[in-house]
Each structure stands twice: as structure tokens, then as C-alpha cells.
Structure 1
Amino acid sequence: MNRIVRTTLVTAVSVAALGGLVGSGRTAPEVRTPEPAPVQAAPPPPPVSVRHEARPVGRPTHLSIPAITVSERLHGVGLKANGAMQTPDFGDAGWYDLGPRPGAPGPAVLVAHVHGPAGDDVFARLHELAPGDRVTVERTDGRSTFVVESVERAGKDRLPYDRIWNETDRSVLRLITCGGTPDPVTRMYPDNTIVFARLAP
């Protein structure tokens, strides 16, 4: 993953990208769960060497996490006009399609809401995952299974960007949603839950 791509990834997450995983994505419900104000962008990453891209893998189509009974289609999400990451619709899981695909070298990122107008959403139980749990991503050309290494929670203004978007030749996966207790007035969550996973042997 070259420097330009990695800078875009860091910016996408740091400019309100993960803050909107409660209520953005549809028009009507946004009255109940307004999009949060942008957080301060992270500093640009240090220069890294440009690597030749590996042979592309297929587009991800489905996400399965048996430990928390998740089985959902995957939809690509990109960037909004302001540079923030788009959020998937309620009830859907999203794959950041400007980054690596699951199974390819580098950190692939999946996002989903923790709560929506109908109640618990796709990643409502993401915080329950534990090391050793398995995450499977179906693609148009096969599948990749990942093993959870750690589950962490961090304030949205203290996200570990360097670890989420770390420069690596390994195929790794990040699953991200909101965490903590929502504000009773704004209904916004103060934290993000982040699952770090590696490709199963």
C-alpha cells in the first residue's frame, strides 16, 4: 500500500468517518441520531516505500461472524465530499473500497452501525468478540477467514490510526463501530470499538 493510499485512509477515518456509525446513512432517522461534528485530523503518516501491488483479489460480498451471529451482505463505501468515510445503511455492513480488499495484503476495514431506528444493528455485539473468534469474508473469487487478535475501545479523538492503517504485507482486518454509552441528549457514542484480526493460517 503506497503513501498516497495510506494518507487517504488515515484522513478518511480521522475526519468524522467513524463518528457517524450511529445515525448517518438515511434521511429520516437522522433527526434522532444527528451526524457528529468532525474530529481533528491526524497528522500525515511518515513516508513509506511504494510496493508493487499483489494480484488483486475479488470484491467482498458477504460477512460472517458466527460468535456474534452476524451474517450480512457487504457493500462498498467510499468518501464523502468533505473527505469523511461514507457509512453503510442501517442493517448493512460496509467495506471501505478505497483500501485493500479482505484477503489482499494490507489492512482491510469493515464498518457497520451498532444501533439504528429498529434497535440493535449489525455490529451491536462487536464488543463481545474475543481472541480466537473467526471472521469470514466471502468474495467474488472465494473467501478469506480471519482470526481475532484483540478487541479494543478508544475515544473517537484518540483512535490508534497508526495501528488501524499500519503498513504491512500481511492480510489483516479491522472491524469498527461505535462504543461506550451514548449521550442521552445527542445520542452520540463517545468511543469506537475496534477489532484487530489476522488472516487464518
Structure 2
Amino acid sequence: MAVPSLGVDMPVVPVGLEPTGDVTIPSESHIAGWYRYSSGASDATGSIVLVAHVDAWDGIGPFSRLKDVAPGAEVVLSGPSGLRSFRVDGVAQPQKGPGSLKDFFVETGPAKLVLITCGGVFDDATGHYRDNVIVTATPIGP
């Protein structure tokens, strides 16, 4: 997965769900996770969801730059079927909360890419960031 305009280029591994129902996120900040219950890179419908830590035990991760991506920027996925390019539609930073991400995990409708990380203020009391940073992008071409 690459966002050339941000200098982001990172490997992607399949991930599932934690016992809590949250998506598993790779522990290393430089590795993204493809939520394996979402659409695949070459699918024509539904959300392709990638997640990564903004930072972790190994330092600040590439997804820390997502908040700065400009609409229209290219995101490239590579997989067994080759490369697929997407154009960024926008960046959102909603506050975390129960069900706050459900609209981004869509199995039907046109294909879209969703990149999710943490953002906003770090809450020392909980040990987590208060917000998510979410980038949505649509396929370029067929």
C-alpha cells in the first residue's frame, strides 16, 4: 500500500477481529492490516478496509501522515491481481465511540478504499487517542 504524495509505502497483512469485536491492528506501526472480512483489493463492490497504528512501541508510523493527505491524491494497492489505484475523496476525524466506524465497513455499493488510524489528542487516562483519522478513496478507472 502506497500514498506517493506522503512518502508512505508499507506492507499489508490480513487481520481479523479481537475478542472485543474490534478490528485487530498489527502491533508494528509500519505494517498495515487489511480487514479480511472487508472487500479485497480487486473487488468491484464494498469497502476495502486497511488499518494501522499512528504510533506504537516501534515509533511513529507512516499512517501518522494520513491526516495531511490532499483530496485527489493517489493511493496504490498491490496484490496478486496487480496494482489498483484510488483517488482520495476526503479525510475525516470523528471522535471514537461505539459504532463510530460502522458506516465505513460496507459490503455493498461501489468499491471504495478506507484507511483508518488514530488521531487527535492522546488521552493519558485511557492510553488511547480520542479520535480516528479516516481517509476514503474511490478507484481510478475500471
TM-score (norm: length of structure 1): 0.64
One-letter amino acid of the counterpart of residue 73, structure 2: D
1:160 Cα offset (Å)? 5.1
Give distance in 2, aligned partners of 1:170 and 1:103: 12
SS of match in other structure, 1:190: strand
Partner of 1:196: 136
1:66 & 1:199 partners in 2: Cα distance?
16
Moved over 4 A (4+): none
Judging changes above 3 Å, is the alpha-carbon distance between structure 1 residues 133 and 81 closer, same or farther for their aligned structure 2 residues? same
Q: Which of 86, 102, 126 is equivalent to 2:24?
A: 86
**Counterpart in the other structure of 1:16:** none
* Correspondence 1:94-109 to 2 at 5 A: 94-104=33-43, 105-109=45-49
1:127-138 pair list within 5 angstroms = 127-138=67-78
Give the direction of change, closer, same or farther, for the CA distance of 1:132–1:86 in structure 2 (3 Å limit).
same
- The Cα of 1:169 is off from its aligned counterpart by 3.2
**Deviation string, structure 1 residues 36-67 (Cα, Å, up to 9, x no partner):** xxxxxxxxxxxxxxxxxxxxxxxxxxx11111
Identity of aligned residues (%): 36
Deviation at 1:80, TM superposition (A): 2.2
Write out aligned runs for 1:16-165 (5 A): 63-90=1-28, 91-104=30-43, 105-157=45-97, 159=100, 161-162=102-103, 164-165=104-105
Give the secondary-structure state (helix, strand or coil) at the position aligned to 2:17: coil
1:103 and 1:196 map into 2 onto residues whose CA distance is: 16
Q: Which has the higher helix share?
A: 1
Residue 171 (1) aligns with residue 118 (2): no
Unpaired segments ≥5 residues, structure 2: none
TM-score by length of 2: 0.89
State the secondary structure of the residue aligned to 1:154.
coil
Inter-CA distance 99–166: structure 2 relative to 1 (3 Å threshold):
closer
SS at match of 1:145: strand
State the Cα distance separating 1:140 from its structure 2 match: 0.9
Q: Which has the higher strand share?
A: 2
Matched AA of 1:137: L
TM-superposed deviation, 1:185: 4.4
User: How many residues in Structure 1 have an aligned counterpart in Structure 2?
Assistant: 138
Instruction: Identify if the C-alpha distance between structure 1 residues 98 and 166 changes in structure 2 by more than 3 Å, giving closer, same or farther.
Output: closer
Structure showing greater radius of gyration is 1
- Structure 1 runs not aligned, ≥5 long: 1-62
One-letter amino acid matched to 1:80:
E
